[in-house]
Structure 1
Amino acid sequence: MRVSAKVETIDRDIVLRLVGDDADRSRQFAAYAREALVEAQEVNRRATGQVPTHETFVDGRRGAALETVKPDGTIVFEFDLLNDLFEWIGLTLMQHSPVLSGRYQESHLFFADGVEVEPGATLPEAQEYSFVNAQPYARKIERGQSPMAPDGVYEAVATLASRRFSNVARVRFGYRSLPAGSIGDWAKTTNMRASQNSRNRPGDKRFEWLTRQPAVVITLR
Structure 2
Amino acid sequence: MAISSRIDSIERDIAVMLDETLSPEARSLELAAFARRELAEAQRVNQQVLGMVPPHDTYVDGRPNASVETVRPDGVVVFEFEMLQDIFAQIGEMLVQASPVRTGRFARSFLFLADGAVVDPGALVPPASEYVFVSSVPYARKIEQGLSSMAPDGVFQAVAAIASRRFSNLASITFSHVVLQAGMIDDWASTDGAMRHASRHHRRKSPGEWLRRQPAIKIRTY
TM-score (norm 1): 0.79
d(CA) in 1 for partners of 2:7, 2:121: 29
Paired residue total: 203
Give the aligned partner of residue 20 of structure 2.
16
Judge conservation of contact 2:6–2:14 (CA < 8 Å) in 1: no
Give the aligned partner of residue 205 of structure 2.
188
Give the aligned partner of residue 91 of structure 1.
93
Give the aligned partner of residue 215 of structure 2.
214
Give the aligned partner of residue 194 of structure 1.
none
Deviations 1:133-188 (A, max 9, x none): 11111111111122211111000000001111111111111111112244596993
Deviations 1:102-146 (A, max 9, x none): 221111111011111112222222221100011111111111122
Aligned mate of 2:61, from 38, 59, 62: 59
Q: Give, as a single letter, the amino acid of the residue that structure 1 aligns with 2:167.
A: F
Give the aligned partner of residue 2 of structure 2.
2
Give the aligned partner of residue 197 of structure 1.
none
Aligned mate of 1:116, from 115, 118, 137: 118
What's the secondary structure of 2:146's corresponding residue?
Answer: coil
TM-score (norm 2): 0.78
Larger mean Cα displacement after TM superposition, 61-70 or 43-52 = 43-52
Give the aligned partner of residue 134 of structure 2.
132
| Distance change >3 Å, CA 137–CA 80, structure 1 → 2 | same
d(CA) in 2 for partners of 1:154, 1:60: 41
What's the secondary structure of 1:7's corresponding residue?
Answer: coil
| Distance change >3 Å, CA 123–CA 16, structure 1 → 2 | farther
Larger mean Cα displacement after TM superposition, 65-74 or 108-117 = 65-74
Give the aligned partner of residue 83 of structure 2.
81
What's the secondary structure of 1:56's corresponding residue?
Answer: strand
Coordinate RMSD, CA, aligned: 2.7
Q: Give, as a single letter, the amino acid of the residue that structure 2 aligns with 1:16.
A: E
| Distance change >3 Å, CA 14–CA 138, structure 1 → 2 | same
Larger fraction in helix = 1
d(CA) in 1 for partners of 2:157, 2:204: 23
Deviations 1:75-107 (A, max 9, x none): 111123322221211111111111122221111
d(CA) in 1 for partners of 2:159, 2:143: 13
Judge conservation of contact 1:174–1:217 (CA < 8 Å) in 2: yes
What's the % identity of the aligned pairs?
Answer: 49
* Contiguous gaps of at least 5 residues in structure 2: 187-199
Give the aligned partner of residue 31 of structure 1.
33
| Distance change >3 Å, CA 40–CA 157, structure 1 → 2 | same
d(CA) in 2 for partners of 1:127, 1:85: 16
d(CA) in 1 for partners of 2:220, 2:148: 29
The answer to whether the aligner puts 1:142 opposite 2:147 as a matched pair is no
d(CA) in 1 for partners of 2:143, 2:204: 18
d(CA) in 2 for partners of 1:156, 1:55: 33
Judge conservation of contact 2:178–2:213 (CA < 8 Å) in 1: yes
| Distance change >3 Å, CA 21–CA 3, structure 1 → 2 | closer
